[in-house]
Amino acid sequence: MQAHALSKVAPDRVAAAFAELKALLGPRATTAQAVRDHHAKDESWHVPVAPDAVVFPHSTEEVAEVVRICARHEVPMVPFGTGTSLEGHVIPVRGGVTIDMTQMNQVVRVSAEDLDVTVQPGVTRKQLNEHLRATGLFFPIDPGADASIGGMTATRASGTNAVRYGTMRENVLALTAVMPDGRVIRTARRARKSAAGYDLTRLLVGSEGTLGVITEITLRLYGIPEAISSAVCSFETIAGAVDTVIATIQSGIPVARIELLDDRQMEAINKYSGFDYPVRSTLFLEFHGTPASVREQAEQVQAISAENGGGGFSWTTKPEERTRLWQARHDAAYAAKAMRPGKSLWATDVCVPISRLAECITETKRDLDESQLYSAIVGHVGDGNFHIAFVLDRDDPAEMAEAERLNERLVMRALAMEGTCTGEHGVGLGKMNFLLAEHGEAIAVMRQIKQAIDPLDLMNPGKIFSL
């Protein structure tokens, strides 16, 4: 187990900053142990570290003032949303102040005409779609958890719809952010495209809180499709399922969702969500469009899956059945975790070019079958992205070492296939060791940017890379 809590900030600096934060925010600045403990961890296997204090700002101006106070006293800051990170992003490994954004949870404006919306960072993805319901629009990015839009932006999240609608990278139009010097910037206006200067929007998307605090996000929206149908299809072999995905993508069929779950994941989901699907490699699919185009897409994919050993589609066209199906898919990690109550989740996250996906998954599955560690595979395979959920005892060095060994083999396999160590979870603490292998010299350029924007290394220090 790694100990990240090195070189924590000096207590006198924290005390001086906290006095000013208290004066600014009153009861919304706290050092209460229970609150600090709540902000010490995420949903991963990473070792908790409590912040020295937690603040709950209500506005961009308050965040700017918090940042100025912390900067003046050289106290580290960590933005915090729903705490559903899988890579330790929100763990304040150097101590300091956690800036909890959950009370900034207002939808600022919706423009149905422009298909966009501006939200505060504490709005969650479900809250946003609930808010949009009457407009006929929706926001498609959907990580497993009901994450905050701020956290999703900071980690460049995606989810099951990314194969059709893109990730946060493609769907954030503009950001308001407080930079480490307390300066408030807006990265872009509301035009759909712009060639006006450096793309600060995309620089902050995925920056994991290391370059500033995101306080407002303008997102693209989409019309709820006229017709939606979902399907479940099980396969004799995992290779057959993956080959179906590859052929579907290569045919250019605009499938909205195409998700792989292996036999162990299906067993877990059946148990957790009360289904009785065959315990075999399975695809969950969804089609969006006009009634005619949805039918056409579904027929095309059904034909492809039949060629690859896929057992007849079971359709779920009723909204409530679809919702139940996709909630089960979103709960996949929790379902796996429930197979070993009380244990921790370690989710891997590689993404490879689709031409290498069958090879990557087959070799990985062989590794897992040879291991004693509990694991299940689930993935956004239309993008070439899949996860292993290890469920393990964080206090058992043998289990931790085995997960580390399997994860390292997986990442190195993905990198050798021109893939990435993280498709959507981000680097946080968990992928720092792989960043040099993936990016080489480019890391030096990332460091130049970090040092220029945050010379005192106060914004979520110790994440992505160490300075």
Q: How many residues bind a copy of itself (CB under 8 A)?
A: 94
Can you tell me which of 3, 34, 134, 195 binds a copy of itself, judged by CB under 8 A? 195
Identify the DSSP state of 425.
S
Q: Residue 431 and residue 71: Cα distance in Å, rounded?
A: 27
Nearer to a copy of itself, 67 or 421 (CB): 421
Can you tell me which of 5, 306, 446, 456 binds a copy of itself, judged by CB under 8 A? 446
Binding mask 371-400 for a copy of itself (x = CB under 8 A): ------------xxx---------------
Nearer to a copy of itself, 362 or 448 (CB): 448
Write down the least CB distance from residue 28 to a copy of itself, Å.
Answer: 26
Asked if residue 207 binds a copy of itself (CB under 8 A), the reply is yes
Asked if residue 192 binds a copy of itself (CB under 8 A), the reply is yes
Q: Which single residue is written with the structure tokens 């059945």?
A: 321
Neighbours of 147 (CB within 10 A): 23
Please, which residues bridge with residue 389 across strands?
Answer: 347, 376
Q: Residue 41 and residue 428: Cα distance in Å, rounded?
A: 12
Neighbours of 397 (CB within 10 A): 10
In terms of Cα–Cα distance, which of 66, 155, 50 is closest to 103? 66
Q: Residue 464 and residue 87: Cα distance in Å, rounded?
A: 10
Restricting to residues 318-357, name those near a copy of itself by CB under 8 A.
349, 351-355
Write down the least CB distance from residue 163 to a copy of itself, Å.
Answer: 8
Asked if residue 420 binds a copy of itself (CB under 8 A), the reply is yes
Can you tell me which of 72, 126, 133, 190 binds a copy of itself, judged by CB under 8 A? 190
Write down the least CB distance from residue 262 to a copy of itself, Å.
Answer: 21
Write down the least CB distance from residue 23 to a copy of itself, Å.
Answer: 26
Q: Residue 56 and residue 59: Cα distance in Å, rounded?
A: 10
Q: Strand, coil or helix: what is 407?
A: helix
Strands (E) located in 81-165:
97-100, 107-111, 116-119, 137-138
Restricting to residues 143-172, name those near a copy of itself by CB under 8 A.
155-158, 162, 166-167, 169-170
State the Rg of the chain over Cα. 22
Q: Residue 9 and residue 441: Cα distance in Å, rounded?
A: 30
Write down the least CB distance from residue 282 to a copy of itself, Å.
Answer: 22
Restricting to residues 229-248, name those near a copy of itself by CB under 8 A.
246
Burial group, residue 402, by CB count within 10 angstroms (0-12, 13-18, 19+) = middle
Write down the least CB distance from residue 14 to a copy of itself, Å.
Answer: 27
Write down the least CB distance from residue 114 to a copy of itself, Å.
Answer: 4
Nearer to a copy of itself, 21 or 381 (CB): 381
